[in-house]
Structure formats: C-alpha cells, structure tokens
Amino acid sequence: MSNFYQKLCDAIGAASVREQEPMSAHTTFRAGGPARYFVTPEGEKELAAVLAACREAEKAYYILGNGSNLLVSDHGYRGVIIQLDRNLGEITVNGTEIRAAAGALLSTIAATARRSSLSGFEFAGGIPGTLGGAVTMNAGAYGGEMKDVLKEVTVMNQDGEILTIPADKLELGYRTSIIKTAGYIVLEAVISLKKGNIEEITALSRKLSAQRIEKQPLEYPSAGSTFKRPEGYFAGKLIMDSNLRGYRVGGAQVSEKHCGFVINAGGATAEDVSTLMKNVTDIVYEKFGVKLEPEVKFLGKFDGR
C-alpha cells in the first residue's frame, strides 16, 4: 500500500478510493487501461481534501463525469481520476430555474424540466454526459448550447476555493469556456428556462430522440461526435466524401450510419480508436486541406501521438 493511497483513504474514506480501476468501465467508448487511483468524493469538502492531497504529493488528476467524451490510453493513467457523478447529482427546481450539481446527467435534468413544464433544455436530453462536462465544454446539439440556458456556475479552483461565476463571465464559445482554460471544477450550475406546455415539450423531446435514433449509431459504444465542426464544413461530410464510411482499424470503425462518429464495433482498444482518428484526420487533410480537431479528450500515453 502506497503512502499516497493511504492519504487518500484518510481524506475521504477507503470505500471511496480504488487502485488500478479499469477505465473501460467508466467511459462510453468501453476501452482503455486502468487508473492508478480512482476516487469518488461525496461532496465539496471531500473534493477539496482530494485536491489538497494531490497538490501535496504533486499528483496529476482528471475530473470525470459520465466518461462520454474521453479516451483513456491502454497503458492507463498514472494520476488520480476524480469521478463526480452520482455523489453530486442533486437537482432542484425553483420557478423557471433548475439548480443541478455537476454529476447530474443531462438526460435527468431534461426529464426534470419536462415534468416541470419548463422549455429550453430539450436540445440536451440526448447528450450522454453530466452537467459538469457540458458546462465546461459548452455542449450543444440541435441548435442549442449550454450558453443559451446558463445563469451562473459555481466552481472550485485548484486551491480548493469556491467561486460563483455569472454566465456572461464564463467566456462560453464553441466547445470551450473559462472553466476549461482556467482548470476550474464545476460544482453546480443554475439553468434558466421558460414556462411551456408539457405536451409541446414532450413532443419536441420525442422528435429529437427519434432523430438521434435514426441518424446516430447509438447501438455501439462511442464518444458521440468525434471531431469538432470545422468552420464552414461538417466533419461527418468531409469524412464521408473521403470515402471513409465504415473504415476500420482493429475494432474501431467510422460509423456507416453517421461518419462523424467513431464507434467501438467490438473489442476496440484505445490505440485502435486513436490510430483510426489520426488516419482519418490525415486523409481528410490530404484530400480537402481541412484539419479536423478531435472533440474527444485523450488521457494518458498513446503510441501514435
């Protein structure tokens, strides 16, 4: 037993600390090696205690929600994975505002909004992630983005201090925010919506869900849209026009249903996915002169990167 492991156990309890935790169980790609340390703090005080332990031991850490936008190396991650999901998943409604903790699933928030006859969050109902990640990356779909509905966000900085930032100070852009660039950790956010008609909200939610089922390869493990949208282009169309529909590396594949998705077609390693993404990027650039940028976050050491 390492001294650092014992410090983590002392800080938040042994039941909340694991060693060599397989990250394939915690990412939607269902691939990747183990995390050296995997912790699940119960709240803000425990999170601050973990950050303090990491600072003292000079250990790298990564904040994990639902693992829906993450590819962990087959070699694993030698730092600390701090998962904020079920332990920080509280959702409350006050009038037309929803206050939700960082670990709340977007689908659960959307369902809460629908039951409360609140409109404006339907776009997020099918995004397979948590609020913390969605706020950090200004997630969006079907013409909506988090920046359209956020009122304020409460974060913790790397020193364990808690700050509340109004939406107009978050520097929300395409898949970025001050939270990402400053290394803040989302604790909770207030979402401002509008009163609506529950039948109309339900109908729109069902329509968007049907579109996702029809157009996206939801039956396979993936990280959703694999590449960012290049200015003036669509990543999926560039990949399709490069004759890469169905292109495979090992168990990783460009989806035949939607070329903007890289899927785990069966037994894919993280290296398979990484190599496929690199090859696709190179081929698209050679053919069209457009450099695709991954929307997926890479964690750990990859042989080809």
| Active-site amino acid positions | 175, 225, 295
CA distance 249 to 243: 15
Report the distance separating Cα 137 and Cα 34, nearest Å: 25
DSSP 190-247: EEE-EE--HHHHHHHHHHHHHHHHHHS-TTS-EEEE-B---TTS-HHHHHHHTT-TT-
Q: Which two tokens stand for residue 82?
A: 């701090």
- Amino acid at position 203, single letter: A
Residues 112, 98: Cα–Cα separation, whole Å: 9
Q: Report residue 191 as tokens.
A: 């979402």
44-57 helix and 3-12 helix, angle to the nearest 10 degrees:
160
